[in-house]
Chains A and B, each alone.
Chain A
C-alpha cells in the first residue's frame, strides 16, 4: 500500500490507522502469521497499533502479546503464565533511557560509574539469557537514545559521570552481546532518534502525560524501522534492485548528450552526487543485493555510460542489463523471470514517476519508491530498509557472483543439444549431509525465504533447526552445490520425522533454492534421504504437498520422484507414499556427491 511505503506521511498513518488496517485485511493477501510479544518499559499501545500496519503491508500478520505497563523484565524473569502460553515467535523489548534505574552522579568516582554500568547491563543480560533458555525465539532489543539534557554539557560524553558517556558505553555492551549471539538483534533507536531529531523525539510532554518514551509523531518512523528488522528475520527482505540509467545513475541523457557529457565524477556538484549514489549501490551489492538495469537506451550507450572512467559501478557489477526500447514493465518482468526470483523481491529505482507507476502497476509486487531528487536517492533507499541485514553471511556477500554464474550457465545451456551432457559439463559437486553447526543460520534463512520450490512452506527459526539436528527422531539433510562457474552454497533442505515405530519417515520439509532449478540436485537429496532411511530400517517414506499462492511448481514433485498419491484434500493438499528397498537405484547421475 502506497501510504505505508517510505517516505510516508506519519500524521496520516496515525490518524487513519483504523481505516488503513481494514483495507489491508480486506486486500486478500496471503499473510504469514507470527506471534510477537511486545515487552515494554513504557507505553506500547500506539507502537503496536502502527507496527501492525507496517507488518501487514509486508505480508506478515502479527498476533500480539503486550506486557502490562513497564513489566518487560518481570514478565520474562517470573515466567508470566500468559506469555508462556502465548509461545512467541519473536520477542521485542521496548526499553529506553527512561528505564535506566541508576546513573552516575558528578560526585561518583569513575570506578563507581563502572560498577553502575555493570549493574544496568546485567539487568538486561540475565533477561536475554532467560529468554534464550525459556523461549529460544529471536529477540529484538532497543538500545538507548541520548538524554535530552546534558548536565556536563559537551563533556557529558567525555567523563564517566556523564549520562551521554554512560549510555554510549552501555550501547557498546549491547552491541557486543548482539555480535556474540545469533537470533538477537539491536533496534538502533539511538540512530533513529538522531535521524528524527532528538529534541522532538524526547518531548517530555509524552513521557509525563502518557509514559511514552518518544513523541507520538515519531512512532511511525520508529515502528517502520522496527518492522524492517522483523520482516528480515522472517525472510521478507527484498533481493534485487533494478536500476534506470539516465538521471538515475548519472546526470543527463547519454543518447542525446554523449558519454563525455553525462554528469558523473568529481568535476561538478551533480556529478559528485551521482558518484556518491553509485558508491552506495556498489556497497549494496557487497551485502548481497543483486543489481540489474532496465533502461530505455541503445545497449551500446548503456554500456558506454557504465564504463565511464569516473563511474564507480562497472558493467560487471550487474547481473542483467536490459537496455532497449521495450516498456520497462516487460524488462522488469523478464529480469525476475531470468533470475528465478519473484517480482515482490524487486525494488525498481527510476527518477521518472511515470515509469515507476507503469512498473508498479504492470508487475504486481514490485516496489517503485518515490526517490525524490538525486541528492535524496541514498536517504530514501537507505531508510526504506528493503535489504535490512540480520546476519552478514558469506552467501549474502557472494550472491551477485552466484546469480551471475547462473546467467553464464543459461547461456551455455543453449549450446548443448543434450541436456544431460550440459549438466555433466557443469562438473557439479555436492555435499549432502545432516545439519551442521556452521550452516544452521543459513538453513533457517532458507526455510523462511523459499516460497516456490517448497513443498510444505514451514518456517523455522534457527533454534528449531538446531533442535531437529539434535533429535534422533528426525533425519535432516542440507545440500550444497558447486560447479565450474562457482559455489552456490547451501541450496536445499530436507527434514523428515520418523514415526513412532521408526518404520516410516514423514517429510515435513523439502525445499530448494530456485537458483539451482533443473540441476538434478533434488535427486541427490532424495538419494541421501533414502540411504539414511535404509540404514535405520525405514521402509516407507511419506511426502506432503501443501499448496500456497507461490509453490505450484512443485505440485507434482513427489510423482516425479516416483511416489504414489494416496490422498488429496479439498484444499488441494496431497499426501504421497514411496516404499523403498535396499536395491534402490540412485536417481542422480550427474552430480558428484561427497558423503
Chain B
C-alpha cells in the first residue's frame, strides 16, 4: 500500500468518525485543525484507524504520534 492510498483510507476514517465530509487530512494535520478532535475523540479515532488497517498500535506508537503524517508512517511501517 503506498502512502497516497494510506492517506485516502485515513481520510475516509476521519470523515466517518467526525461525521464531516469536508475533512481532507495531510501530513501536517493535527488535532488543532479539526474542531471535534479532542483527547477523548482521539481514543475513538485511533481505534477506528486500527480497525481500518487491521493493525494494533502499541502504547509507544500512540504516544509518539504528533500529526497525521506520523500516523501514516507508523501504519506503513506496520504493513510492510
Q: Is the CB of B48 within 8 A of A14?
A: yes
The interface of chain A, by Cβ under 8 A from chain B, is 11, 14-19, 22, 43, 45-46, 49, 205, 208-210, 212, 216-217
Residue in A15, A17, A19, A22 whose CB lies within 8 Å of B13 = A15
Q: Is the CB of B47 within 8 A of A19?
A: no
Minimum distance in angstroms from A66 CB to a CB of chain B:
11
Chain B residues with CB below 8 A from A210, complex form: 43
B18 contacts the other chain (Cβ, under 8 Å)? Answer: yes
Other than the known A11-B48, A22-B19, what 9 A-B pairs have Cβ atoms closer than 8 Å? A11-B51, A14-B44, A16-B16, A17-B44, A18-B17, A19-B19, A46-B40, A205-B59, A216-B47
Complex alpha-carbon distance, A45 and B59, angstroms: 20
Chain A residues with CB below 8 A from B44, complex form: 14-15, 17, 46, 49, 216
Q: What 7 A-B pairs come out closest when comparing CB atoms? A: A18-B19, A15-B48, A45-B40, A216-B47, A11-B51, A15-B16, A19-B19
Complex alpha-carbon distance, A18 and B48, angstroms: 13
Complex alpha-carbon distance, A17 and B44, angstroms: 10
Chain B residues with CB below 8 A from A43, complex form: 40
B14-54 vs A, CB cutoff 8 Å, 1 = contact: the mask equals 00111100000000000000000000100110011001000
B62 contacts the other chain (Cβ, under 8 Å)? Answer: yes
Closest to A212 in B: B43
Residue in A15, A22, A45 whose CB lies within 8 Å of B17 = A15
Closest to B18 in A: A18
Complex alpha-carbon distance, A210 and B63, angstroms: 11
Interface size class of B (residues with CB under 8 A): 10 to 19
Chain A residues with CB below 8 A from B13, complex form: 15
Chain A residues with CB below 8 A from B63, complex form: 209
Chain A residues with CB below 8 A from B59, complex form: 205, 208-209
Complex alpha-carbon distance, A11 and B53, angstroms: 12
Minimum distance in angstroms from B3 CB to a CB of chain A:
22
Closest to B46 in A: A216
Complex alpha-carbon distance, A43 and B62, angstroms: 18
Complex alpha-carbon distance, A45 and B38, angstroms: 12
Minimum distance in angstroms from A455 CB to a CB of chain B:
41
Complex alpha-carbon distance, A216 and B47, angstroms: 7
Complex alpha-carbon distance, A465 and B8, angstroms: 58
Complex alpha-carbon distance, A294 and B63, angstroms: 57
Chain B residues with CB below 8 A from A209, complex form: 43, 59, 62-63
Chain A residues with CB below 8 A from B51, complex form: 11, 14-15
Q: Is the CB of B43 within 8 A of A217?
A: no
Minimum distance in angstroms from B1 CB to a CB of chain A:
19
Minimum distance in angstroms from A16 CB to a CB of chain B:
5
Q: Is the CB of A46 within 8 A of B19?
A: no
Complex alpha-carbon distance, A205 and B57, angstroms: 10
Minimum distance in angstroms from B65 CB to a CB of chain A:
12
Minimum distance in angstroms from B36 CB to a CB of chain A:
8
Minimum distance in angstroms from B37 CB to a CB of chain A:
13
Chain B residues with CB below 8 A from A212, complex form: 43
Chain A residues with CB below 8 A from B47, complex form: 14, 216-217
* 24 A-B interface contacts by CB (under 8 A): A11-B48, A14-B44, A14-B47, A15-B13, A15-B16, A15-B17, A15-B44, A15-B48, A16-B16, A16-B19, A18-B17, A18-B18, A19-B19, A22-B19, A46-B40, A46-B43, A46-B44, A49-B44, A209-B62, A209-B63, A212-B43, A216-B44, A216-B47, A217-B47
Minimum distance in angstroms from B40 CB to a CB of chain A:
4
Chain A residues with CB below 8 A from B43, complex form: 45-46, 209-210, 212, 216
Chain B residues with CB below 8 A from A19, complex form: 16, 19
Complex alpha-carbon distance, A212 and B63, angstroms: 16
Complex alpha-carbon distance, A209 and B59, angstroms: 7
Closest to B13 in A: A15
Complex alpha-carbon distance, A43 and B40, angstroms: 9
Complex alpha-carbon distance, A210 and B13, angstroms: 21
Closest to A49 in B: B44
Complex alpha-carbon distance, A19 and B16, angstroms: 8
